[in-house]
A = this chain, B = another copy of it.
């Protein structure tokens, strides 16, 4: 069974990669970046095949044109890829960090140290630049990765996978199997069953695709199916600022998960705010679907139906609802939101605190555009995706979400029998921050 072999190879490589020194890992990343620059011509050649094949699909109307833009590589894009890999090399190593250190008793010391997860299954859309980005994040965090990109990018991805493996081989040949590429849906289906070897799936793509992965594996899945985000315009608000943020959050890039789908407006400000918002949206060609109260103020809005409050348009469409209170806005968001990113526009500090506290979402904002919810903007260097999970990692996930920890307990022959029964020794439980750091260096 081919996928089993591949996953076993990845697992073995992951055990090796877990203890590779930071310097070696970084050297390999710089080798990948250099190889990208040197391999520019054949990479563009491989990419041309993908583009020609996909252009025909676009012409026949079987594929959307924007996909072609994301698929097509250029000298500039390859330079940016190489730069991205170098910037991951320059990030701090997330492995081997001491999270806590405690003396349990004299000579019995515990250190909690970050470790890689093991093997990551990454499945993503047809952007060839995702291959070096995801590979470098996984590699830096000491994880093996099995990647499946969009089939439109097959030749580009195949070339990139081999290029990365070859570059790694020049630095640490025995870790080459830490980067693996697979190409078909059947391969992915086979991988979903290999929970003994794969520790985390990170799928990116359509809602239906992410749900399919979640429903068909015992392996934990990191990511989000839906990005149903809201902006709430509170009663005491800077109207111009609120219009600017609602505009940015819808129009600046409507096809992405952190764009808003619904604007909620406090009734006290609806008459002043909605005509201003409608004017801005009208000029950008945004289709507005309003509740009855909103339509009584801006009659040009299309009537919103129940489904509008639970639809992620991913397009220049917005639903607009007038609410009675902050409480109603929070209740609406906690009911219909996808726990992705939610923002309040208000000049009232108490409303802001209530909103930030009570809205249940990975990222909550005050007077800022939801579009800021992104690994790069959040200072993580890069991201593997945005998580709406409640466990492990939430929001934009960078290197920090690709590690876990182990407890290391070092004693001098300590046994539990001495700490049990009527003459039990007590534990000291003294924090040991400096010595923990020293131990971590030793590891």
Contacts and interface: CB of A to CB of B under 8 A. Distances in A.
A334 B245 contact: no
A117 B389 CA distance: 10
Contacts of A110: 378-379
* Total copies of the chain: 2
Contact of A405 (B365, B367, B394, B416): B394
A407 B258 CA distance: 14
A283 interface: no
A55 to B, nearest CB: 27
A372 B253 CA distance: 53
A253 B394 CA distance: 39
27 contacts: A18-B358, A19-B358, A104-B379, A108-B368, A118-B360, A199-B390, A199-B391, A220-B389, A222-B391, A238-B413, A249-B415, A253-B416, A353-B442, A353-B443, A363-B409, A368-B413, A369-B414, A369-B416, A371-B415, A372-B411, A373-B407, A373-B409, A377-B416, A377-B419, A379-B427, A392-B392, A394-B405
A215 B214 contact: no
A2 B117 CA distance: 38
B200 A443 contact: no
A391 B244 contact: no
Q: 9 closest A-B pairs (Cβ-Cβ)?
A: A368-B411, A248-B415, A241-B413, A371-B416, A392-B392, A391-B392, A379-B429, A199-B390, A363-B407
A15 B358 contact: yes
Contacts of A379: 102, 104, 110, 427, 429
A404 interface: yes
A10 to B, nearest CB: 14
Nearest to A378: B110
A356 interface: yes
A410 B117 contact: no
Interface in A206-263: 214-215, 218, 220, 222, 238, 241-242, 244-245, 247-249, 252-253
Contact of A252 (B364, B391, B415): B415
A420 interface: yes
Given A368-B409, A390-B199, A391-B404, A244 B415 contact: yes
Contacts of A423: none
A368 B353 CA distance: 48
Interface in A351-405: 352-353, 356-358, 360-369, 371-373, 377-379, 389-392, 394-396, 404-405
Contacts of A392: 220, 391-392, 404
